[in-house]
Chain A
Amino acid sequence: MKQTGVGADAGAEAGKGIAPDGAPDGVTDAATDAKRSVAPGVRLGRLSFVWRPWMVLITLLLTAATFLVFCVSIGVGDFPIGLSRVIATILGRGEQVDEFVIMDLRMPRALAGLVVGVALGVSGAITQSVARNPLASPDILGITWGAGAVAVFLVTVSGGTATAVVSSVGLSAAALAGGLGTGLLVYFLAWRRGIDGFRLILIGISVSAVMQAITTWLLVNADIRDVARAQVWLVGSLDNRSWDEVRVALWCTLVLMVVVAAAAFQFKPMHLGDEVAAGLGVRHSRVRALLLLCAVLLAAVAVSAAGPVAFVALVAPQVAMRLVRHPTPPMVASGLVGALLLIGSDLVARAVLPISLPVGVVTAAIGGPFLVYLLVRANLRQTDR
């Protein structure tokens, strides 16, 4: 009777959950769904997985949609380029003028959006799965606020003198260091003969709160013009990306995604609880540590490339979960939803809105209501049955 697409409802019966520590486990709960248990299995050599046509279909649709929005986004600008010409150019068969505008000018920004969206989405999916808490996102683990505090420090305290020195690349590098440092600090503070999702979150919240307090304090004491600049950075923006920055972010993300993909296979059984997973031959604490490290790195890379774009990491996995009707945040779909959300928001920010706003404002303005819409729809649908 319980419906898959509405993991939202899961927390109500938290007592039935699988989380060993009794933490609310809405992310994992619907695993008991009767319909799923009869889904056919597929075996390929040593690998076996459940064949879920709906999940495959939605993932393919998401891929197509992401590619489409990506191309449309590249086409939009002071010098508009049609969709077919954009696709031709990307495939290497475009005209010279288009080639220059697209590959040299617009591609870095669009790619940055894609990479950052995917990184944040996957990072969110990992943290929410590991912590078994839908509110656990890189924002809560302190990564974004750590990066933010460092960046705001550079913008406000060193202020005028450093403005020239700290070009955007330097700022990104500093933010990367800040995000990574904070993420690792949280990880090591939470380490106590293994990582426990609940302890990780509480420590993350604590460190986040400190970073946030420092940021607030810096902003209170800063010159108002620096505050505006810092604010734009804190919201997250894709303006003025260069190939150099994008290349670094792209390669980092690609490598990390490979690691995540390898580890995710091992992660699956852990939704059944650590004991069951161990029984199935999974070294759960190692897998968990590896995945969390990847999540921290992905979030740090994303933040260094675009600033702490709000709520993509929180919203994307939850949206993906409901779209593919899966009880836990699906990695691939979460990444795609993240990318779609970010590129789409950037497109809206540039093409639709009368005033220019950083992309983070739009991701939040779109992502928030959409999450609410999904919740309400899921609840209403449940009433009908």
Chain B
Amino acid sequence: MSTTAVERPLPEGGTEARRHRGTGLGTLVVILLITGVASLAVGARALSPAEVWHGLFAAPDPDQRLTEIRLIVQTVRVPRAVLAIVAGVALGVGGALIQGFTRNPIADTGLLGVNAGASFAVVTAIAVFGFTNPFQYVWFAFLGAAVAGVVVFGLSSIGRGAGNPLTLALAGQGVTVFLAAMTTAISLSDQKSLNALRFWNSGSVAGVGFDVIWPVTAFIAVGLVLTLTTLPSLNLLNLGDDVARGLGVNIALSRTVGILAITLLAGAATAACGPIAFLGLMVAHVARYLTGPDYRWLVPYAGLLGALVLLISDIVGRLVVRPGELDSGVVVALLGAPFFAGLVWRGKFKSA
């Protein structure tokens, strides 16, 4: 699935290693683009490359058939491919970041409580306001995810713990636990919410239009910019707090920016697709295997791998139970987990 030019961990530093990593990154981008185009052709109705081309670029045509293709490509296939890439990048980068900042190799973006916060907000929106349309509760989901992330970070910052990785992970669990309980309580007493929740929970990149995708992408872009600013200090932080402080890193500031970035990335992706478990965790480990521990390389790899995995999962989900669909969140887990477990068993991973 992610066979790149790089096959084994490379020696640290050196122009040689850097060139290899650069080539790998380039290869990933190319594979991602090809997969993206393939994703436009696949579906309940398979399209030929020529038809995809027409659907994308042909001027409005009186020919009924071409108009229909235009409709399929531009309003259904393109949005979901774009969303898969955007959300996949966000979840992959978010996963790599949170493992770095918490120094916990099993940390996932769900750890900050964003998934639980989003689910809770969705259920509340449905139960209280009677919303039925995903377009209406996307914003609640984002709000819930962001608030949960901020609360978790705030709680873990009280006192001297400030941004302490373990405190953060445990506070995240605590808040997740509480929100999940509230979500269950509401959904058990309100069948409409339960019904919506089970669909939202499975995670999917389908059925969302550009009116949602653009704002979500904007949030993710801000998250990515913040990410870029934290990468050098993240490398130093992983040498231990004392060393990092000695080398002049403002630990509290760096962690705050990092957590903010994770919240934006994971919150926006979760709001648009629902909770997609396991993706961030998995690609962060695969990226670490490919690049070694340098976060300046690891994070971009994780982002591209995240996009690739989500895109492929979406395509597979459209193919396996035709004419129905398997939600991409489900496919990510069903495909990714055995693959990941195999790599783990062969001893490919070291802890963060």
Chain A interface residues toward B at CB < 8 A:
8-15, 21-24, 26, 133-136, 140, 189-190, 192, 198-199, 201-203, 205-207, 209-210, 212-214, 216-217, 219-220, 224, 227-228, 231-232, 235, 310-311, 314-315, 318, 355, 357-358, 360-365, 367-372, 375-376, 378-383
Contact = CB atoms under 8 A, between A and B. Distances in A.
A24 B111 CA distance: 16
B143 interface: no
Contacts of A209: 277-278, 333, 336-337
Contacts of A360: 181, 184
Contact of A310 (B177, B198, B340, B351): B177
A192 B333 CA distance: 23
Given A203-B341, A216-B329, A227-B194, A375 B189 contact: no
A375 B161 CA distance: 9
B84 interface: no
B173 A12 contact: no
B166 A134 contact: yes
A203 B344 contact: yes
B285 A12 contact: no
B71 interface: no
B2 interface: no
Nearest to A380: B159
B115 to A, nearest CB: 12
> Binding site of A, secondary structure by majority: helix, strand, loop or mixed?
helix
A355 B189 CA distance: 9
Contacts, number: 223
10 contacts: A216-B327, A220-B202, A224-B191, A228-B194, A231-B188, A360-B181, A361-B184, A365-B181, A371-B177, A378-B161
Given A189-B341, A209-B333, 10 more contacts: A135-B106, A135-B107, A135-B169, A198-B105, A198-B351, A206-B338, A219-B198, A361-B188, A365-B178, A375-B167
> Binding site of B, secondary structure by majority: helix, strand, loop or mixed?
helix
Given A190-B345, A224-B194, A8 B170 contact: yes
A182 to B, nearest CB: 12
A22 B278 contact: no
A216 B326 CA distance: 11
A201 B106 contact: yes
Contacts of B169: 11, 134-135
Contact of A364 (B177, B189, B241): B177
Contacts of A199: 344-345, 347
A184 to B, nearest CB: 15
Nearest to A363: B181
Contact of B184 (A140, A235, A314): A235
Contact of B173 (A11, A202, A212, A314): A314
A314 B182 CA distance: 18
The 6 closest A-B pairs by CB, nearest first: A11-B166, A379-B159, A368-B177, A364-B181, A368-B178, A213-B333
B334 A365 contact: no
Contacts of B240: 13-15
Contacts of A22: 350-351
B160 A23 contact: no
Given A9-B166, A12-B165, A203-B345, A375 B184 contact: no
A314 B181 CA distance: 15
B202 A376 contact: no
A375 B170 contact: yes
B292 interface: no
Nearest to B339: A206
Given A26-B166, A202-B106, A383 B188 contact: no
A199 B329 CA distance: 24
A375 B171 contact: yes
B187 interface: yes
A227 B194 CA distance: 8
Q: Identify which of B166, B185, B202, B327 gathers the most chain A CB atoms within 10 Å of its CB.
A: B166
Given A189-B341, A216-B330, A13 B161 contact: no
Given A23-B351, A224-B195, A383 B159 contact: yes
